Amino acid sequence: MRVIINGQDKEFNGPKNLRALIEEVCPDSSKVIAEVNGGIVKRDAWDAHSIREDDRVELVSFVGGG
């Protein structure tokens, strides 16, 4: 299954929910904020949210900034 994460094409074994996808690419998922196809997915909805072929996923976190 092709998923576009942070602008990069990645291949995953599907089916997958968002939590599983995030934990596969980011060990410290506690810092992650997720958006799928332009919509924010709240943390407590990660388990229920199924990832589909060609979904665009953005995973962001806080960094230092002025």
Partner 1 sequence: MTQTTQIDTQEDIFELGGKRFTNRFLLGTGKFKSKQDMADSIKASGAQIVTVALRRIDLERHEENIIEYIPEDITFLTNTSGARDAKEAVRLARLAREAGHGSWVKIEVINDSKYLLPDNAETVKATEILAADGFTVLPYISPDLYIARELVKAGAAAVMPLGSLIGSNQGLKAKEFIRVFVDEIDIPIVVDAGIGAPSHAAEAMEMGVDAVLANTAVATAKNPAQLARAFALAVKAGREGYLSGLPAKKDIASASSPLTGFLYEE
Residues of this chain that interact with partner 1 (CB under 8 A) are 5-8, 10, 25-28, 30-33, 35, 40, 42-43, 58-66
Cα radius of gyration (the chain): 12
- State the nearest-atom distance from the C-beta of 62 to partner 1, in Å: 5
| Structure tokens that stand for 36 in this block | 């799928």
Amino acid at 38: G
C-alpha 63/C-alpha 39 separation (Å) is 21
Nearer to partner 1, 35 or 54 (CB): 35
Is the CB of 20 or the CB of 58 nearer to partner 1? 58
